[in-house]
Amino acid sequence: MHTQHSAARRVVRAPIFAAIALVAARLLLGLLFAVPLWLLSSGLSAGLGEARSADYLGYFVVYAPLRWIAWSVVALWIIPKPHRFIGFLLGFSSRDRVWRLSAVGVSFACDAPLLVGYGGPVVGKFFC
């Protein structure tokens, strides 16, 4: 009886640990992209000028593709193989594309309190 209970516990714990591992990996991806992103977004913002609209444009031009790529990497870990590069770029299916777009949308929504608090995009911050 003890072994059955232990086996049931392992089955329940496995998805939780897998989810935690995916979250940790996504956080690491964000940090790995942060420095190059900071350089790119700062340069883009400086090139666009001082207007607040330039900050918003720089924010979305830099962060939307970056977030798509970061969630594409997570999709590689979730979706069973085989993987093709075109699937990585554009999504492996319509369901995957909707999932990625939703994830990017949630990422932007998580920025909303910071954007409101700062009065707009703060280019160069860690908004991965």
Q: What is the pLDDT of residues 16-62, one digit of tens each?
A: 888 888 888 878 877 787 667 777 777 776 776 666 677 777 778 87
Total of domains in the chain: 1
Q: Is residue 66 part of a domain?
A: yes
In a domain, 44, yes or no: yes
pTM: 0.64
- pLDDT grade for 123, boundaries at 50, 70 and 90: low
Residue 17 covered by a domain: no
Residue range(s) defining the domain that contains residue 105: 29-118
Answer yes or no: is 13 within a domain. no
So what's the pLDDT on residue 8?
Answer: 41
Using alpha carbons, list the distances in angstroms from residue 45 to 51, 57, 110, 114, 128: 9, 8, 22, 18, 17
Whether 12 is in a domain gets the answer no
Region 100-106 average pLDDT: 94
Kindly state whether residue 19 falls inside one of the protein's structural domains. no
Nearest to 72 by CA among 33, 124, 36, 120: 33
Sign of the alpha-carbon torsion through 116, 117, 119, 124: negative
In a domain, 123, yes or no: no
